[in-house]
Structure 1
Amino acid sequence: MIDYFVNALKHITRKKVRSFLTVFGIAVGVMSVVLITIISDVGQSAVNQELNDLGAGGILISSGKNTTELTDTQLSILRSNTLVDSATPLVVNYSTVKLKSGADDCVIWGVDQSISSMIRLEVLHGRLISQNDVQTMAQVCLVDESYAKSMYHRSNIVGKELKILMNGVYRPFEVVGVIKSGGNLLQSMMGEMVPCFTYLPYTTMQALENKTDLGQIMVKTSQDSQKTADTLTAQLNEEYGVKDAVKAQDLNSQMEMIESLMRVVTLILTVIAGISLLVSGLSIMTVMLVSVSERTREIGIKKSIGATRKIILTEFLIESGLVTLIGSVAGAAAGVLLALLGCGVLGIAPVIHLGSVLGCILFAVGIGVIFGVYPALKAASLKPVDALRHEVT
């Protein structure tokens, strides 16, 4: 068997330019498939992490078409439910924030002390919103790291004062904490287009804006999220005494829909990239047919001294498989390196599954062998006398 590979390697290196072009075509095809596979895995992992960081898991309760607002009463009802692990209000607004000499548009989040159980908030300096802040309606806030650096060129700005436009008046707030900027993927892709996040006690936000509406309530549960959402909706509707008083959105199902969409997109792109492998397979068939024509006399001599049909068939199949293997390994390596380089530039953790890479290589080798069957059969079917006569003429 080793002799087969040695002979195949000799024939490949005999026509260096032709072999290089064939290997290069295969490598490009495999590189495309591997790169798309890795990009899909990295993208899915990054999107899931982004959604988790932004609290995109769990259940989001909001007012329905037959009610106007959610209040602390509904928040208390949800927190007392045994299906609910934790619940937090989300009063969201979009406003202008003044810090130092600059003014920027920011997303203002009115939250309470339980927000860290919903959204991953990594405190870099200072502290989070406390229960005392909520009870006393303290004018304190958290800012994200990127905003702090844009204003002061450093992340630690605890103790600084910023002003938030609320009800037409700029209100002073003391920065009590700086958190790591969420949405790293969004930040790296969109930069300054992504607004800064500022967190306040929700009671402070309500008082300064003269409203009692919580806007939304986010719920975490360890039970089946869809069933829990239906149960909570029914309970709150009963509390209001009207149908469709509230609506519950299962954010976990939204994440699953996003994942399904990404898988479909990946499949489509992989199929498109796989077409290049089929084209490479056709080029292998063409090259091997040319090789059969060039080596007709050699085949005739081998058969005349006892080489069987099986030996000739095996020899050509191994040669086509070896060409594909070399190109596949080179293409897979190039795809992995490009993926690592891209992840490094974007600051994203690479996700590389060895099984997927090996699967791409084996698939490509399989295509190479399949497209090498016809030339191999043609070579194996040559009769010694006809082969020698063909070369002589």
Structure 2
Amino acid sequence: MADIFRSAFQNLGRKRLRTALTMMGVAIGVASVILIGNISQCGTDALTHEFDSLGLSGLAISTLENDSQVVLTDTDLKVVRESENVEKAMPVMMQATSVQTTRITGKALVWGIDADANQIISLNVLYGRSISVSDVKSGARVCMVDENFSQASYKRNNIIGKRLSITCSGGTEEFEVVGIVKTGSGLLQNFIGSYIPNFVYVPYSTMQQLLGKNSFDQIAVKVKSGTDVDETGDMLVQSLNRTNGSSNAFVSNNLMKQRDSLSNILGVVTLILSSVGAISLLVASLSIMTVMLVSVNERTREIGIKKSIGARKKDILLEFLFEAVLITLIGSIFGILFGYGISYLGASYFGFALGIRLDIMALAVGFSVLTGMIFGVYPAMKAAKMNPVDALRME
């Protein structure tokens, strides 16, 4: 067996250019599959991180839009917080409005949040501080803004102490910036920035005063680890309906489930693109069959000599089959190096973390070697079935 393998390896060096070009075709196919898989992984990780940073995880409890008689109040918040499956809950208010500084006027999404918001949604404070308990109790005119707003307003990240005006219910109130938060990697802003406004965070009690109401728009809920999110949402809705004497006034949105749906869409796109990469591997495997058939015709006399001195059909079959497998195997190794080389360069440039995907690597190499064996069988069988007398007569 070792002699057959050594002979197959030596035969690849006879026509080096032809062998190299065939291996290159396999390498390109494997590299394309790896690149598609890595791009999908980076995209999924980036979107997950981005949506987590925007607070799109956990549960959001709200009232049905067509039911204006029922609103979320402190009583409802207490019911939610006392639920056994709830780890944290906070009131949330939201208002799309305009924000003005001494330099710019622009659209913004103003969030009314509680002091423990960073335990429920991802708020990474870069400078200054978060909304405090005293801010909420006193209805202080303080706010946090995102990093993009700071850059757009003053061309720098840290604008602690600056003042901005927020328009709310027809009136304008002045707020002091006490914190700068990073709202993610900026991926969504980079691609669809014109559709995503700047984020401004204020105490929810302050927003209630400005809007002249004592209710909330939503209650953001962080469920305990190991708890079924959908089941908890249904339980909270039932509790709130009982408390308010209603039958169907509240709704629970599993934001994590919506995020996972987007990830599933990315997975489908990846599968489709990977199929394109698999087609390129099939084309490369067809070229292997062509190369091996040419090799059989060129080495007909050699095959006749080997058979005349005792080589069996099995030996000839394995020799040519090993050649096909070696072409795909070596090509796959170069494809892996090439694919991950480009992947790491791209990930480094865009600031993404990239890990080694053994599943994608095994799938690409396994599919490549399998197709190489399948398309290498016919030339190998053709060589093995040759009559030694006829083969020796060939020039």
Question: Is 1:199 aligned to 2:201, yes or no?
Answer: yes
Partner of 2:322: 318
Q: Which runs of 5+ in 1 are unaligned?
A: none
Q: After the TM superposition, which of the residue ranges 252-261 and 152-161 deviates more from structure 2?
A: 252-261
Which amino acid letter does the alignment assign opposite residue 365 of structure 1?
Answer: V
What is the RMSD computed on CA atoms of the aligned residues? 1.8
Asked if the contact 1:97–1:163 (Cα under 8 Å) also holds between the matched residues in 2, the reply is: yes
- Of 256, 259, 267, the match for 1:255: 259
Residue in structure 2 matching 1:219, options 218, 221, 234: 221
Does structure 2 retain, via aligned residues, the 8 Å contact 1:66–1:242?
Answer: no
Checking the alignment, whether the CA contact within 8 Å between 1:126 and 1:177 is kept in structure 2 is yes
SS at match of 1:125: strand
Counterpart for residue 66 of structure 1: 67
Residue identity in the other structure for 2:106: D
1:198: how far off? Answer: 0.7
Shift of 1:18: 2.0
For the structure 1 residues 100 and 13, does the alpha-carbon distance in structure 2 shift closer, same or farther, using more than 3 Å as the test? Answer: farther
SS state of the match for residue 350, structure 1?
Answer: coil
Matched residue type, 2:332: S
Cα distance in 2, alignment partners of residues 183 and 56 from structure 1:
15
Conserved? CA contact 1:67–1:246, under 8 Å: no
**Aligned residue number for residue 176 of structure 1:** 178
Which of 30-39 and 149-158 deviates more? Answer: 149-158
Show the 5 A alignment for 1:264-275.
264-275=268-279
Cα contact 2:101–2:163 (8 A) shared by 1: yes
> 2:247 is matched with which residue?
243
Q: Select between 365-374 and 249-258 the one with higher mean Cα deviation.
A: 249-258
Distance 1:143 1:55 in 2: 15
2:10 maps to which residue? 10
Aligned mate of 2:388, from 384, 388, 391? 384
Structure 2 alignment gaps of length 5 or more: none
2:13 aligned counterpart, secondary structure = helix
Preserved contact between residue 188 and residue 346 of structure 1 (Cα < 8 Å) = no
Please list the CA deviations of residues 37-73 of structure 1 after superposition, one character each: whole Å capped at 9, or x if unmatched.
Answer: 1122222222222222222221111112334432222
The residue type equivalent to 1:81 in the other structure is S
**Corresponding residue number in structure 1 for 2:305:** 301
Aligned ranges 1:338-353 → 2 under 5 Å: 338-353=342-357
Matching residue's letter, 1:35 = L
- Displacement, 1:382? 0.6
Contact 1:185 1:348 in 2 (8 A): no
TM-score by length of 1: 0.94
CA contact (8 A) 1:66 1:244 kept: no
1:356 aligns with 2:360: yes
1:102 is matched with which residue?
Answer: 104
Counterpart Cα distance in 1 of 2:182 and 2:51: 15
How many residues align? The count is 391
Quote how far apart the aligned CAs of 1:214 are.
1.1
Taking the aligned partners of 1:51 and 1:241, their CA distance within structure 2 comes to: 35
The residue type paired with residue 158 of structure 1 is I
**Alpha-carbon distance in structure 1 between the residues aligned to 2:150 and 2:53:** 19
